[in-house]
Amino acid sequence: MEPALANRRILVGVSGGIAAYKAAELVRLLVKAGAEVRVVMTPAATKFITPLTLQALSQHPVATDTFDLTQEATIGHIELADWAELLVVAPASADVIARLALGLANDLLTTIALACKAPRVIAPAMNVNMWNHVAVQHNLQTLVARGARSVGPGVGELACGWVGSGRMVEPPEIERACAEALGPRDWQGLAVLVSAGPTHEAIDPVRFLGNRSSGKMGFAVARAAARRGARVTLVAGPTALATPPGVERVDVESARQLRDAIVERVDGAQAVVMAAAVADYRPRAAATGKLKKAALGGAPALELELNPDILAELGARSYARRPVLVGFAAETAEVERHAVEKLCAKKCDLMVANDVGEPGSGFGTETNRVILVGADGTVERLPMMSKAEVAERILDRARALVVDER
């Protein structure tokens, strides 16, 4: 599969700020990923990093001056605006964010931005107090409302000595945002409902029954679906993972809460991806107070009862228009056979199965090796890959099954 940035035309805009030095690494990464990169700098940016550095890394002349006759003759601001498939502003200072929001064209970068119809990625970088100012937030929200993708800022020690939000995120994160911005939009306007993470079943106010799920696989699906244009609702069990951009998140704790949240939102969804690791059992009655060893005289006897089988309920429901139903099977042996059995029993359209005992394929990892089993009898065995890549493959398969009646 061709890398997302291969042969794509990316224009990197660099504004003035100490984080401008990171633009060199960003350009290097984009070029390494196969992109053709051009750079435009504000006059202030040239005070922090030389155009020569970015010219050497991009292998193209760096544009800096709207009124430079040589630059305008060989590149031209309109030509650059038309050339770009993506405009990335990194770092984006408070000043340049304001000028972009107002539609000003008082330097080469803002002139190009005003003429450029390509999608854009904005990577803010500034002092924490500037970042928190209502004017900056309003200006950035204006750009996002127009379709820009904002990435960051991060939290940490700033050049001014303050600690807080405002530092530009690292170049690999901006590179990922570029790949997402240039990715397919084949789910545009469709609704996707995703569950992710574990469930916690209370024993008492302190303890619970749970599992090892981190939620990373479900969150990867939600992120990829949103990037591909879907309206995504993510029902998440207890996890510390950040909400993916553009995703509506609903937090739950128990299996019954997850079931209620899913059933309440399933109508109108074109696809349901049940990546959550839902506990099969729960204590029949949770203690209202902490169970004390001294009072019990030993270990408590837990009486368990079955949790609702959400996937089976979804498969058996009647719908005005049935969504594509994707289930997950976390196995430790005979993965393919169990996946086929679960697919049939739950009436799913696609089952995603993996061996959670295999190194790199279990809970909490960044990678996964899965088998995709379709209701049409197809079996696709994927190699070990990142969970982000697995998410894309799942969405590819699910999209082919969606009946588009928009």
Q: How far apart are CA 242 and CA 219, in angstroms?
A: 9
Give me the mean pLDDT over the 251-263 stretch. Answer: 97
Catalytic residue ranges: 160
Q: Determine the topology of domain 191-401 in CATH.
A: Rossmann fold (3.40.50)
pTM of the model: 0.71
Tell me, what's the pLDDT at 156?
75
Query: Could you read off the pLDDT of 87-102 as tens digits, one per residue?
Result: 999 999 999 999 999 9
Query: Which H/E stretch holds residue 75?
Result: none
Cis bond before residue 283 (omega within 30° of 0)? no
Query: Which H/E stretch holds residue 299?
Result: none
CATH for 9-181 is 3.40.50.1950
Task: Say yes or no to pLDDT of 76 above 90.
Answer: no
- 9-181 and 191-401 share one CATH topology? yes
Tell me, what's the pLDDT at 185?
82
- Mean of all residue pLDDT scores within the chain: 91
Segments making up each domain of the chain, as ranges: 9-181, 191-401
For 19-53, give the secondary structure using H, E and C: HHHHHHHHHHHHHHCCCEEEEEECCCHHHCCCHHH
Work out the percent of the chain whose per-residue pLDDT is above 70: 94
Query: Could you read off the pLDDT of 20-52 as tens digits, one per residue?
Result: 999 999 999 999 999 999 999 999 999 999 999
Tell me, what's the pLDDT at 362?
79
- The gap from C-alpha 405 to its chain's centroid, in whole angstroms, comes to 27
